[in-house]
């Protein structure tokens, strides 16, 4: 994966498959500590304890275990390559939290990429799934929440192409306004 | 070239703009009817598993959203997880109203164009269909 946004799309699709109804994605650019922290939290069915270790090991995870594949190992690899860290916690019936820390200034940190496009895509995946995206940089923060969007839209589909383009631009412009790192 | 901060801030789209836009859209009555009945629309799902993303499914997704709108075809394009055809990524599933879903493999922008022009518009079959009797790994468990 060349972009952090692609990793997020990939991992969030695990949440979709785990029947999550709420996916919370956050990026925290902690410049002071040189950290770029990506957290993905869902309320899906969770991963049993005995399988949790295996999700990080591309050689143990078989392709038939459709809940996880190469997505998690790739993200872990990319985070660790920058001298960062990776952890995953999960509870069956409650959900999963995954956290990848990249070193912000490390040359190996992938660019964020088309995060607005990815969040829009996730937001329109399934009307039953809500997506929250919080991007923080220093003291600035932007919060995107599909529940607010759906509230405004009422009976208009969030997957309407014009709405999708609007959402994407709205996220982009708000990220620009908090001066996020591209 | 430098603009005062307030100017730049004023340009940022907000939920209030979304409301205005929605009202515009709602004036087209048919849209509301369609929203209650999404089966009446062309539905396209783009496979976004690890392998789909890595092979450029996102570009195909963006292309489909933009082109269908430009060509005035009412469609819903969504992303979906791995469809189990990793060897043929990117894959898309096209469902025309009242028809069975059809999965196409190896879809790039050129193929997507062909699918829109021939299958979506005219209902003609296009090469590259993954037959439904191909079993996914999931089904073989």
Residue B74 lies in a domain: yes
pLDDT of residue A20: 96
pLDDT of residue B140: 52
- Residue B26 pLDDT grade (very low, low, confident, very high; cuts 50, 70, 90): confident
ipTM of the complex as predicted: 0.82
Query: Which residues neighbour B27 within 8 Å (Cβ) at sequence distance 6 or greater?
Result: none
Closest by Cα among B23, B28, B33, B91 to B57: B91
Q: Is the pLDDT confidence value at B52 over 70?
A: yes
Partner-chain contact A157 B76, CB within 8 Å = yes
Residue B56 lies in a domain: yes
- Tens of pLDDT, residue by residue, chain A (182 residues): 889 999 999 999 999 989 999 999 999 999 999 999 999 999 999 999 888 888 877 766 555 545 557 889 999 999 999 999 999 999 999 999 999 999 999 999 999 999 999 999 999 988 899 999 999 998 999 999 999 999 998 878 888 888 999 999 999 999 999 999 98
Residue B123 lies in a domain: yes
Q: Which residues of A touch B141 (CB under 8 A)?
A: 64
pLDDT of residue A107: 95
Domain of A88, in residue numbers: 4-177
Q: How far apart are the first and last CA of chain B?
A: 62
Contact by Cβ (8 Å): A103, A35: yes
**How many domains, in total, are found in chain B?**
1
Which CB contacts under 8 angstroms, 24+ apart, belong to A76-80? A76/A100, A78/A1, A78/A7, A78/A102, A78/A108, A78/A110
Residue A40: CATH number of its domain = 3.30.565
Interface test with chain A among B79, B80, B91, by most A beta carbons within 10 Å: B79
Nearest C-alpha in A relative to B141:
A64
Show the beta-strand stretches assigned E in B41-88: 42-47, 75-80
pLDDT of residue B137: 60
Residue B90 lies in a domain: yes
Residue B57 to residue A156: CA distance in whole angstroms: 26
Residue A182 lies in a domain: no
Of the candidates A6, A159, A174, which has its C-beta nearest B53's C-beta? A6
Average pLDDT value for residue range B32-60 = 83
Domain of B76, in residue numbers: 39-140
Residue B6 lies in a domain: no
Residue A61 to residue A67: CA distance in whole angstroms: 10
Chain B contact for A65 (CB, 8 A cutoff): no
- Residue B107 is classified by DSSP as -
Q: Which two tokens stand for residue B137?
A: 């790994």
What are the C-alpha distances in Å from A131 to residues A150, A169, B123? 11, 17, 35
Query: Which residues neighbour B139 within 8 Å (Cβ) at sequence distance 6 or greater?
Result: none
Partner-chain contact B26 A9, CB within 8 Å = no
Residues B75-96: pLDDT tens digits?
Answer: 889 999 888 788 899 999 999 9
Residue A133 lies in a domain: yes
- Residue B115 is classified by DSSP as I
pLDDT of residue A50: 84
**How many domains, in total, are found in chain A?**
1
Q: Which two tokens stand for residue A79?
A: 């985070």
Partner-chain contact B58 A114, CB within 8 Å = yes
Contact by Cβ (8 Å): A7, A1: yes
Record the pTM.
0.86
Chain B contact for A60 (CB, 8 A cutoff): no
């Amino acid at each position: 994966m060349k972009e952090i946004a692609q990793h997020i799309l990939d991992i969030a699709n695990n949440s979709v498959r785990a029947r999550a109804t709420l996916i919370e994605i956050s990026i925290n650019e902690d410049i002071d500590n040189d950290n770029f922290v990506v957290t993905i939290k869902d309320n899906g069915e969770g991963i049993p304890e005995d399988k949790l270790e295996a999700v990080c090991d591309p050689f143990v995870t078989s392709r038939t275990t459709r809940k996880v594949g190469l997505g998690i190992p790739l993200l872990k690899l990319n985070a660790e390559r920058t001298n960062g860290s990776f952890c995953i916690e999960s509870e069956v019936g409650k959900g999963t939290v995954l956290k990848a820390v990249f070193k912000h200034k490390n040359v190996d940190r992938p660019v964020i990429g088309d995060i607005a496009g990815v969040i829009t895509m996730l937001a329109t995946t399934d009307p039953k799934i809500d997506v929250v995206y919080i991007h923080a940089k220093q003291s600035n923060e932007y919060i995107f929440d599909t529940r607010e969007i759906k509230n405004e839209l009422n009976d208009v589909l969030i997957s309407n192409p014009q709405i999708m383009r609007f959402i994407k631009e709205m996220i982009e412009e708000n990220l620009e306004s908090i001066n996020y790192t591209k | 070239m430098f603009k005062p901060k307030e100017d730049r801030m004023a340009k940022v789209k907000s939920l209030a703009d979304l409301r205005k836009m929605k009202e515009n859209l709602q004036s087209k009555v048919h849209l509301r009817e369609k929203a209650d009945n999404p089966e009446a629309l062309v539905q396209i799902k783009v496979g976004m598993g690890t392998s789909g993303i890595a092979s450029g499914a996102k570009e195909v997704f963006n292309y489909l959203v933009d082109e269908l709108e430009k060509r005035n075809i009412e469609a819903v394009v969504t992303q979906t997880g791995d469809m189990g055809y990793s060897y043929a990524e990117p894959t898309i599933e096209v469902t025309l109203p009242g028809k069975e879903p059809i999965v196409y493999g190896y879809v790039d922008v050129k193929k997507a164009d062909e699918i829109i022009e021939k299958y979506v518009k005219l209902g003609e079959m296009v090469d590259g269909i993954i037959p439904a009797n191909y079993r996914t790994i999931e089904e073989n468990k």
